[in-house]
Amino acid sequence: MAAQTGARVAVAEDAPLGGTCVNVGCIPKKLYSFAAHYAEAFEEAHGYGWNVPKPSLDWQLLKANRAAEISRLNSIYGGLLTGAGVKLLHGRAKVVGPHEVAVTSQGETQTYRAKTILVATGGRPLAADVPGGELAISSDQVFDLPQFPRRLLVVGGGYIACEFASIFRGLGAEVTQLYRGEQVLRGFDADVRHFVAAEMRKKGVDLRIGSGVESLVQTPDGILACLKDGSTVLADTVLYATGRHPNTAGLGLAEIGVALSANGAVSVDAQYRSSVPHVMAIGDVTDRVQLTPVALAEAMAVVDQLFGDGRRAVDYALIPTAVFTHPSIGTIGLSEEKARAQYGDIRIFRSDFRALKHTLSGSSERTLMKLVVDVASDRVVGLHMVGADAGEIIQGFAVAMRGGATKALFDSTLGIHPTMAEEFVTMRVPVPG
């Protein structure tokens, strides 16, 4: 986008194009989530009259097909860059002067000068910080495991941990998930957290709350995780998903005076400028909102600021997001807890039901829908769902909420029958309290 304004632009990258999302994040994760759902679909088909032989997963084929698709996307990104006139520099970049960046590739280093330097290097998974931690993998390696892990131990309680626990359970692994906190998905609405945890357990994830790893030990039978309570878990693979940190190590930023936070994030102002004004940063490397669409929006704001009229800004107030657990989560706006703190007087509308599909499928999966309403303005300030295709359903409601939709507007909107989504416009009675 910057190059299309006529600016001279170069991008330095030492990995396949597309960043975390395309290569080891959103895209492959969603593809594996699709794969995991097929196992459920084969089983549920019996209730609809289909006699399906017992299926088996070809892990190697799934990996190969995923790799081919990611490679296709890498090529598309390359074409978009070069087609716009961007100079693509394949190599590891380091800021070596106020306006100088050295790019090293295959042992050779070349230095480039730029009026503005934009840091968009994303984040990296935190490594396992226990004795034997080198035996664990991160989400970066989980897509390409040589063999499918029949026994998977997932350590962590955030969305990445919960997603992979759900996915690999769906693919057929025995999954144990450990989280040291009181409930998974800290920061999400409490009803959502408890509901998802219950649904994950129903699907066979051995989810243990208030549980942590003391050490990992390699044994002939697998990796033995010794837990803080004295118990053990034996696994073929241990996935640590305990957070991510900004990817700024070795970039030379501190050396030229760029202020970094305690965890290495680039500190930026409202215009994404660091303490060195011509060095800017966006996305996960700033450790604010770690979502791909947010990074893209920030990038567009930077382009407009540098080469446009400077009026474009990112509104962080209502950011829709999805978590691809099984069942999935869709959410926008405030949790009940945050809404009470901000508005005081709120009304809660909540519905928990078995979807029509599962009246014949035999599945016990349930769906949760919840609206949080500010009484004074009647505005819907929080909307949450746990259920099939939650992300697809939430996207449209995000438009309505950004437009200031009230509960009265929801109530006056006709539902599409029979769908799960219609529940959001048919909830009439607030829950007590």
Determine contact, residues 77/27, Cβ cutoff 8 Å.
no
Q: Which of 90, 278, 326, 417 is catalytic?
A: 417
Q: ω before 418 within 30° of 0 (cis)?
A: yes
- CA 94 to chain CA centroid, nearest Å: 28
Rounded to 10 deg, the angle between the 26-44 and 159-171 helix axes is 40
- Provide CB contacts within 8 A for 187, sequence distance 6+: 335
Determine contact, residues 324/33, Cβ cutoff 8 Å.
yes
Determine contact, residues 285/121, Cβ cutoff 8 Å.
yes
What is the Cα–Cα distance from 333 to 322, expressed in whole angstroms? Answer: 12
Query: What's the half-sphere exposure (Cβ side, CA atoms, 13 Å) at 107?
Result: 0
Determine contact, residues 312/300, Cβ cutoff 8 Å.
yes
With residue 157 as reference, give the H or E element that holds it: none
Residue 90: active-site member: no
Using the 8-state DSSP alphabet, how is residue 366 labeled?
-
Number of Cβ atoms within 10 Å of the Cβ of 142 = 23
What is the Cα–Cα distance from 388 to 355, expressed in whole angstroms? Answer: 9
Q: Give Cα separations from 323 to 11, 121, 329, 423, 432 (angstroms).
A: 30, 23, 5, 20, 28
Strands 279-281, 206-209: parallel, antiparallel or unpaired by DSSP?
unpaired
With CA atoms as reference, report the closest residue to 164 among 292, 25, 20. Answer: 25
Q: Active-site residue numbers?
A: 417
